[in-house]
Structure 1
Amino acid sequence: MKQVCIIGAGATGITAVKAMKEQGISFDCYEKGSDIGGNWRFNNDNGLSSIYRSLHINTNRNVMAFSDFPMPDDYPMFPHHSHIIRYFEAYVAHFGLRENIIFKTAVTNVSKNSDNTYTVTLDNGQVLSYQYVIVANGHHWKPRFAEFKGNFTGEVLHSHQYKGIEQVQNKNVLVVGMGNSAVDIACEAARLCTGKVVISSRSGAYIIPNWIWSKPFDNLTTPFSTKLPLWLQRKILDLVLRLARGKQEDYGVPRPKHPLLSEHPTLSQDLLNLAGRGLIGFKPNIREFEGKTVVFEDGSKQEFDLIVYATGYKISFPFLKQYDAFDVEESNSIRLYKRVIHPDFEHLFFLALIQPLGAIMPLAEIQAKWVAKIIKGECPLPSKEEMLRSIDEDAQKLAQRYKQSPRHTLQVDFYPYKESIEKEMKKTARG
């Protein structure tokens, strides 16, 4: 019996493979598709990728890279998804990981045994036993739709299904939501100038430019800045944004009523310019549909050919459906110690089940290193009571800062979270 089963060979799964291999831990890694990369492989044959043709990352290449494998210097600062998948392929080749991945094989069921081991069933009918299971199946693949009164008779799709400009060309488009994908798609449609483009949002968003004063915006965040009181972080960010691009409402983009840093930021270098040219309009939340006519909460009406729901994703673990603890598709809230371990399932680990203010890959990497140390017996876990207390404290902090929404259940700050895992590793290593 091998020690570990890793589910998924996307950006998170491959760093888990590397961590296990470096620690001499025996494992199998199963990937539903025919290649590595997960969400970052355009038109991935595993059917789960949300990448669209024009997508560029919103975190800069230096921040996003794994700690021991920098992105090439000739990459643009905000690379295209084709650069990212080549980077992951190079990472896998450099560390010799491909031979450790079993492709075209999906995990269909994971069951906990009385001795804390796990029985894993594959889609080819095989049933295997493992001491530990690492879940790296991602959380941007099962679309979440908003529901409204009435019936829209035009075309409907989720941003997960959006792949390119041909889907919005010559159409009046309503984009529901104001996160990164929503704004990207709206900007792409607006550049075509072939129809009206409108964004509908319940609460709006603060628009953060990718670049400020010739520097990538995310370079402004440091371990020191994240330790400042939240009210001071908000004051500083508001001042920086005003100096860099003025008031977003002067471009026609409504200013949200909630304070800065109380929701995941929306990054765009283009939205304000396109809105200022009248190419993108804004509406409040939808009240109801009347055929192709959309009635908004302010009483206004407008007709559209296409609605794109950029309303996020559900956390889903179809291979754990027999356990209530992991039936979280509606709430998007899962109670995990340090966002990795459920107190009742200590040999089951979840990686990259976070939404950081910053890049996710380095955090998945350090999570994987921590898990490897736990498996090796170098980092004993705290008691169940301590884990539950920590989970409650984290949930309370989250509720105080962010508005109540399935979108914000996974939020973490990059540096404080990274430091918390590093601290955990050091603390337990000393015993």
Structure 2
Amino acid sequence: MTRVAIVGAGPGGLVAARYLRSEGLTPVVFDKSPLCGGQWTGLSGSSGVWPSMRTNTSRVLTQFSDLPHRPDVALYPSADQIRAYLLRYRQDFLPGLPMHTDATVHEIEAVPGGWAVRHDRGEEVFEKVVIATGRFQHPEVPDVPGLKTFSGRMGIAHSSAYRGTRRHRNGHFLVAGCAISALEVASELCMSGARRVVVCYRRQRYVLPKLKAGVPTDHLLFTREQAEAEDALPRGEFGARLKALVLASGGSPEQYGLPRPADDIFEAGLTLSQHYLPLVAEGRIQVRPWIDRIEGTEVRFRDGRAECFDGIYFGTGFALHLPFLAPSVRATLNLGPQRIDLFRHTFHPQLPGLAFMGLWDQSGPYFPPLELQARWIAYTWSGAIAPPTADEMEEGLAACRARGDAPPKTRMNLVALDFARAAGVEPDPKRWPGLARALWSGPLAPVSFRLEGRDALPDAAARFAAEVPELVEH
């Protein structure tokens, strides 16, 4: 039996274990946290999830194909609901799985016979290793002049350290950044009793609400149709198409009193928030340009205005952080704060037996591509499908290197379809006439990738139809 170490017990690690086991390999999971669930444990120090947090991805796209959510789960589930879901997934599909929690992995190094995994409890050699520690583990706070002098009573923290609003009531807060976490923290502070909330950022992004006429916008944005258009159309033409969808869903920021973003949506960027734009329009959130400098409790902005704050949250992203990889492995991967050179985000030809899960930076739900990536890894390592050739991997690595040290975000639909094609499980809409419209312009639900190929499910068509009834043709 081939033993596989999996580093990380979050969604990526669990779904990797499930498919590796089903393919006859023997997974053993390590996680530094005392609980499984990764970010969704909500544990301070190892999770950026706060108690009142809701997913920014819809229920259909925040699940795995084997386990639908229970009927009472919200359209945008709570943190508690996702935590319970992952525990149920482990109980249903991974009974008896060897799992070492509270076990920090200190080093992974190539040795004769495989990979040495050195952890709190000793050293073991595994034939193969999957790195599933997640993309959002190492917060980045930019270097701002005077940052260390800030003396507000609530201090400075990254948005990943935010833990709810009770202690923030009646406070005066600055939130720096325009990504999802920044806008969600700012919105919650505003709606939960903070006296004043100011948001600052370097450029104005377009902002997409979670819902358009009751339909989750991730069902509209991350489709096969959009992926094919992005592949086929010139960049500017696809950008105009994407921008039109965003504007039809929630309008443009300047309509709410914000600065006008760049006309090119790729230059401006896109983020997601249901409440942010209306709160700005109501005057409940104020917006400033980026920070010029900080002196004590005072923050001076680049437009010359200044204000005093009780606390500052930085929603400014995360860096890749894999310190447990041996130096030679990190060098081979050209590992940097925002880059890792891999073929299809997964393999490297000079590191056989090592695979990486979920380390790309994307817009959109992670659960569907994580499951597809896990299936591809498991099918490849079990011999069920042919591995990529050396030429294929070298060509993929060359494209990866060309993206440089700060590659742009990709979109979930592109990544999911890439993994589905690699694993041989992309459904052909022509074979499913009643579902053709749903497969083309509907959400890339995980169960839709159980219609064909290895691990096809007899009830997949009925389950997919139930998830998108408005797109099913009878």
**What is the TM-score with the length of structure 2 in the denominator?**
0.81
Match for 1:250 among 243, 255, 270? 255
| Cα distance in 2, alignment partners of residues 420 and 166 from structure 1 | 43
Counterpart position of 1:34: 34
| Cα distance in 2, alignment partners of residues 307 and 329 from structure 1 | 30
| 8 A contact 1:159–1:310 mirrored in 2 | yes
The within-5 A match list for 1:160-239 is: 160-221=160-221, 222-228=223-229, 229=233, 230-239=235-244
Number of corresponding residues = 416
Alignment partner of 1:320: what SS?
coil
Deviation at 1:418, TM superposition (A): 2.1
| 8 A contact 1:107–1:123 mirrored in 2 | yes
Is structure 2 residue 77 aligned with structure 1 residue 79? yes
Alignment partner of 2:13: what SS?
helix
| 8 A contact 1:288–1:296 mirrored in 2 | yes
| Cα distance in 1, alignment partners of residues 336 and 361 from structure 2 | 17
Is structure 2 residue 364 aligned with structure 1 residue 358? yes
1:309 maps to amino acid? F
Counterpart position of 1:413: 411
| Cα distance in 1, alignment partners of residues 298 and 84 from structure 2 | 44
Aligned in 2, Cα 1:220/1:135: closer, same or farther, shift over 3 Å? Answer: same
Aligned in 2, Cα 1:328/1:298: closer, same or farther, shift over 3 Å? Answer: farther
- What runs of 5+ residues in structure 2 fail to find an aligned partner? 426-452, 454-474
Deviation at 1:105, TM superposition (A): 2.0
| 8 A contact 1:112–1:118 mirrored in 2 | yes
Is structure 2 residue 118 aligned with structure 1 residue 121? yes
Aligned in 2, Cα 1:339/1:264: closer, same or farther, shift over 3 Å? Answer: farther
Q: Alignment RMSD, CA only?
A: 2.4
Counterpart position of 1:107: 105
Deviation at 1:188, TM superposition (A): 1.3
Is structure 2 residue 292 aligned with structure 1 residue 304? no
Counterpart position of 1:334: 340
Is structure 2 residue 139 aligned with structure 1 residue 133? no
| 8 A contact 1:326–1:334 mirrored in 2 | no
| Cα distance in 2, alignment partners of residues 243 and 414 from structure 1 | 21
Q: What is the identity percentage for the equivalent residue pairs of Structure 1 and Structure 2?
A: 27
Match for 1:88 among 68, 86, 89? 86
**What is the TM-score with the length of structure 1 in the denominator?**
0.89
1:414 maps to amino acid? M
Alignment partner of 2:129: what SS?
strand
Counterpart position of 1:53: 51
**Could you tell which deviates more after superposition, 354-363 or 212-221?**
354-363
| 8 A contact 2:144–2:293 mirrored in 1 | yes
Alignment partner of 1:318: what SS?
coil
| CA deviations over 1:223-250 (Å, ceiling 9, x no partner) | 0122112434433343344344333212
Aligned in 2, Cα 1:375/1:77: closer, same or farther, shift over 3 Å? Answer: same
1:393 maps to amino acid? A
Aligned in 2, Cα 1:208/1:304: closer, same or farther, shift over 3 Å? Answer: same
Deviation at 1:185, TM superposition (A): 0.8
1:54 maps to amino acid? S
| CA deviations over 1:108-129 (Å, ceiling 9, x no partner) | 11111255x11111112x1111
| 8 A contact 2:257–2:280 mirrored in 1 | yes
